[in-house]
Structure 1
């Protein structure tokens, strides 16, 4: 049956509105049960073991991943596999977080006696406070929804969204309770862009030693241009000893050519940029990138607290490091 564009939009809007209402309704359920669940999770000496079947299992995997990445060690166990050996992953130091919209998922109900014998706290997120799982749990959090977003009322949609939102609420409450910082997050995500932005310092990516472009104040412009070409940073530093007294960049060269100077006789000190911007080795690479973007410069010397040259980097170095 053909369907027009407006019908597609209307169907999409209906789903989004239904799921939004389901999530909004959870706000009234952040009560003592939520607090007790947070206390169990915060006091866990081992790991959070998340259980869920079907779509709840997919949501459980996401909740476990969010907990783990925000400072609460967690992993997901498939309930069907749990009764065939994977229950050995659960120890007496752990906390179990079980997800089931009906609260009667047979694979979870089957392993409840083993969880009970382990004497570990059991937190249940279900849509039925009178269900077997809810009654067995140490803490039950009600994530019921008025209706699924599926027009047939069959596909888990609103219910899984509500469960995911409640799982996120637990994870972020624990993040705050643990004093988890952006730096902590970066350490658990070293391969991601955020990790690089929060962990990499200028010293980690700067050119050092013979790779630093540098000339002295009496170097003629033509020799300075050769140094720029050799080192490939688009600039050279000008030093007295190891003290940086200026820089000369590709942009400075364009301005110099407008003045029709003799590049074989003009000392670099006559055309260099004095009082240039510099970076410190302990600056976050992201801070260096912000400085370069703010002043519209492509390369920077890196100096220590005594203004001694220790390195140099350009925007390409930052891009290769994944900072920008």
Structure 2
């Protein structure tokens, strides 16, 4: 058969006529079936979860998440979740394990085995080696009467009635349930370890999550870039300072550098609408007294969370020390940048 002929045979041709909403219905059927699989698991009795989570949380060496095929993909994802939530873990491919990768497994490691059938040959083959190294074995296994289920020290049965696809064969409901169980163990162990939001952000130094850990002192405008005026300065002078610093605001301070108030573009526009005198009106007369401020050691994430809880947006935030002395000015534009 020529390559062209084989490609022609692979062409599914035009889609047949379908009732209205059939595709969306099939889509929903899959999600409903997967949700039902998790619901049935939660409705059953799973013993020993407390002790299992405590054992995971108490580990002083990385967990091993073992699997192959689709269950292996789940194991890799769960290992990543454990690690990002403060419980070091790594994925071990069962096939590669038998060809040298078992060298990564230390005596006494805790090994979480993912297998739907419970008969996966590549896993069964290395069970004796894991046991000889006094590894504690946890099985997230779909068949409680299988060889792998019988070999583990702690079984979490992940039985399903059927897969969620239309022919009941593709790993769908089974892998969703495996992943949900793995996520549950990872999150519960993380909470037991006292893992906090700040710890999570420190685990993600790259990208947006990592940048949220930058402290305000490293982003704020200071020195010559800091727009400041004294309270007796005219609004005309204030306008000049704001224009020169290009941040849309000026901080009003006293002679000791203590923050007295904040003036933003809107304050000046409101004075103009009242036809006020830009030369006779002083900064102290139009400033916003006691503006919202932040400390220099807050992170960007902390600052944004505080503002969210207060239901406030911000364009600029003065940065002060414990005595109210102005240290800098944080611009929302700088945060975005």
TM over 0.5: yes
CA drift of 1:265 comes to: 5.3
Query: In 2, Cα distance between the equivalents of 1:287 and 1:69?
Result: 20
Residue 285 of structure 1 is matched in structure 2 by 300
Gaps of 5+ in 1: none
CA contact (8 A) 2:57 2:190 kept: no
Residue 166 of structure 1 is matched in structure 2 by 181
Partner of residue 276 from structure 1, selected from 291, 295, 298? 291
Residue 90 of structure 1 is matched in structure 2 by 105
Distance 1:170 1:297, change over 3 A: closer
Root mean square deviation of aligned Cα: 2.3
Cα deviation digits, residues 88-108 of structure 1 (max 9, x gap): 111114211111111111111
Distance 1:108 1:231, change over 3 A: same
Partner of residue 193 from structure 2, selected from 147, 157, 178? 178
Residue 19 of structure 1 is matched in structure 2 by 34
TM-score with structure 2 setting the length: 0.86
SS at match of 2:36: helix
SS at match of 1:32: coil
Residue 213 of structure 1 pairs with residue 227 of structure 2: yes
Query: In 2, Cα distance between the equivalents of 1:30 and 1:126?
Result: 15
SS at match of 1:269: helix
TM-score with structure 1 setting the length: 0.89
SS at match of 2:31: helix
Query: How many residue pairs are counted as aligned between the two chains?
Result: 319
SS at match of 1:18: helix
SS at match of 1:25: helix
Residue 223 of structure 1 is matched in structure 2 by 237
Partner of residue 67 from structure 1, selected from 67, 82, 92? 82
Query: In 2, Cα distance between the equivalents of 1:107 and 1:85?
Result: 13
Partner of residue 116 from structure 1, selected from 101, 110, 131? 131
Residue 332 of structure 2 is matched in structure 1 by 315
CA drift of 1:63 comes to: 0.8
CA drift of 1:41 comes to: 2.0
Residue 187 of structure 1 is matched in structure 2 by 202
Residue 258 of structure 1 is matched in structure 2 by 273
Distance 1:288 1:73, change over 3 A: closer
